[in-house]
Amino acid sequence: MSNSYSQYEKDIRGKVILVTGGTGSFGNAVISGLLKFEPKRIIVFSRDEKKQHDMRYLYNSPTLKFVIGDVRDAESINRVMGGVNYVFHAAALKQVPSCEFFPLEAIKTNILGAHNVINAAIQHKVERLVVLSTDKAVYPINAMGLTKALMEKVMIADARKISEPNSGLNEENNGQTTLCGTRYGNVLMTRGSVIPHFIELIKKGEVLTVTDPNMTRFLLPLSESVELVLHAMTNGKNGDIYVKKALATNMETLAQAVCKIFNYDKGYKVVGIRAGEKIHETLISQEEMARAEDEGDYYKIPSESQGLDYQQYYDKGKRSPLEEVVSFTSENTKQLNLEQTTDLLTTLPEIQDALKSNQTDDRK
């Protein structure tokens, strides 16, 4: 974890932190960093016993508590929530094809599972809960994005309830919990993302497959996604969603950069856009940009709320200068050229490890 994260040390020290989906890419990254700040305990909650076994031996830390459970099961998440200060809700079905083929499973995990986590956090008076969302939740066209968009809406609706002191809906919580969220795009080198796929094809000696050379995607190192979540945890108000001002590139440049790094001469071929994919991704919609607040490296999107009085939604509105703002997309953010993309990728520890592995294989 970078030195810039030290600003969060005082917030982490002595706290109990629950990470749902804690054996995933984000979970591993955030846990390895948080351990340096001496939290009282980190609860790693997931349903994958093999990954928990591997993490237990990797970290060998008494601070970590591993719990087998599923966010779909309200009882199992409720059992571990007692005494927790912070929750990072990362458990999800994240692969677009999987969610396209099994949308009901995505609903159970991404929407109902998030509801179970949020409800348990409110009941146990957790201080702060951050839900992790995705660019695919904005103007969604696939099941993964649709379910993540509804996860955000569930969080915002519950945040609205606990923010109303006389709503009659927060008697157990009394406004002690803050619910907020983050959105980010393609996190580099995470499981199932495109660069590990490219590397696997290189290992097999196969041509890289590119959906569309002009397709653009945000590029966010895993360390920056962790910092985004920590920023939301320490700064967020109820219903806020935070977005990192991420850079982007197109798929042709990305494929060329990987070939250049690995000195791979078989190149790539275009296979066409898959079901549920966009040419460009959006992190903030035009409607959200009209109320978004610029915080330097981040945008904060406050919840669009008029309280719990339904009638106000019919009778009260406000002027919004939509013609003056545009969405924040992977097309209109800063685009990295081949040299810049190559430089960014070569800073990633996973790329450096893959290069070392290739050199070792070449010497055999």
Residues 22, 44: contact at Cβ < 8 Å? Answer: yes
Which position among 94, 136, 244, 300 bears the catalytic label?
136
Residues 50, 72: contact at Cβ < 8 Å? Answer: no
Active site (annotated) includes residue 136: yes
Using CA atoms, how far apart are residues 356 and 177, in angstroms rounded to an integer? 46
Report how many helices (DSSP H) and strands (DSSP E) the chain contains, helices first: 15, 15
Straight-line distance from the first to the last Cα atom of the chain, in angstroms, rounded to the nearest whole number: 34
Residue 163 CB partners (closer than 8 Å, separation 6+)? 175, 238, 239, 305
Q: Give one DSSP letter per residue of 63-120, joined into a string.
A: TEEEEE--TT-HHHHHHH-TT--EEEE------HHHHHH-HHHHIIIIIIIHHHHHHH
Task: Count Cβ atoms below 10 Å from residue 352 Cβ, excluding itself.
Answer: 13
Residues 217, 330: contact at Cβ < 8 Å? Answer: yes
CA triplet 113, 119, 241: central angle to 5 degrees? 75
Using CA atoms, how far apart are residues 154 and 90, in angstroms rounded to an integer? 15
Using CA atoms, how far apart are residues 62 and 359, in angstroms rounded to an integer? 36
Return the amino acid letter for 179.
L
Catalytic residues: 136
